[in-house]
Amino acid sequence: MSLNRPLRDWSGKRVWIIGASSGIGAAVARALLAEGARVALSARSAPGLEHIAALHGDAALALPLDVIDAVAAEAALGRIVEAWGGIDFVLLCAGTHQPVRAWTLDATIARHLVDVNVNGVFNCLAPLVRQMQLQGSGAIGIVASVAGYGGLPTALVYGATKAALINLAETLYLDLAPRGIGVFLVNPGFVKTPLTDRNTFRMPALISAEEAAGEILAGIGRGDFEIHFPRRFTGWLKFMRLLPYRIYFALVRRGTGL
């Protein structure tokens, strides 16, 4: 049984992709525009948004946004509601990553990762939840990561932010599902993006951003709560979290070589 109402027909749907200038967000935006959705595109990089929007005329709306700015996030939502009369689906995938080990931990870097990956989501969520409650409908997708399942080398801060988003999405679902608002949790494995290009280690089961977008839309179409992929990789990580820590730590060290 689906935990969310399945979304399959995107024709005319009012969608906001936050983190749409590259990677997964850009790939989802292009896929939904091809399916006939109206898509508002937000990210800090205005040229990337404007390039996508220029190809789709009135169906696309470029709204540059730094998610750290709560006032700007609320204003951007106001522009969408003013233009389209409401909003049907939002994908929150703005985020950043920097490899951090315990001996390279820097509080300034940690605060920046938390501000973008966690506080940025809250800045967008607060006005979104109010708007969707007024409408009595809508759905929210939050892109976390399998790095949030358990501790992994180089993800000292990044993994902690993604674990926070997993918990957030679970609690959000408990609050909003009874009110007719859908919540989708997206936990990708390794996806080739400008962020993962920073990694210096082998990334198993690496997929393209376009493949990731296909997995996300398929999961939304099924009404899944958690959408994780590629399953040949994420399934193993889920299984490992059931093991005692002694075994879990040994497997992570063997698998990563770190």
pLDDT digits (tens, 9 = 90+) for 244-256: 999 999 999 998 8
pLDDT tier for residue 52 given thresholds of 50, 70 and 90: confident
pLDDT score recorded for residue 199: 64
- pLDDT of 201 reads 61
Q: Is 159 helix (H, G, I), strand (E, B) or coil?
A: helix
- Ordered by where they begin, the domains of the chain are 14-256 (3.40.50.720)
Q: Is 158 a catalytic residue?
A: yes
Report residue 154: phi and psi, to 5°.
75, -5
| Beta-sheet strand order (sheet of 38-42) | 60-62, 38-42, 14-18, 89-92, 139-143, 182-188, 226-229
Question: Which residues are CB-neighbours of 134 under 8 A, at least 6 positions away?
Answer: none
Q: Which residues on neighbouring strands pair with residue 229, listed in sequence order?
A: 188
CB-CB contact of 32 with 141 (8 Å): no
Give the model's pLDDT for residue 47: 85
Q: Please, which pLDDT band fits residue 1 given cuts at 50, 70 and 90?
A: confident
- Given 158, 173, 245, 248, which residue is catalytic? 158
| Helix/strand/coil for 191 | strand
Question: Model confidence over 146-156: pLDDT tens digits?
Answer: 999 999 999 99
pTM for this model (two decimals): 0.94
Q: Is the pLDDT of residue 83 over 70?
A: yes
Nearest to 38 by CA among 95, 4, 79: 79
Show the tokens assigned to 183: 């919540």
Q: How far apart are the first and last CA of the chain?
A: 40
With cut-offs at 50, 70 and 90, classify the pLDDT of residue 190.
Answer: confident
Asked if residue 79 lies in contact with residue 41, where contact means CB atoms within 8 angstroms, the answer is no
Of 48, 46, 41, nearest in space to 16 by CA: 41
Residue 194: what pLDDT?
73
pLDDT, residue 25, reads: 95
Q: Where are the beta strands (DSSP E) in 157-250?
A: 182-188, 226-229
Number of Cβ within a 10 Å radius of residue 171: 11
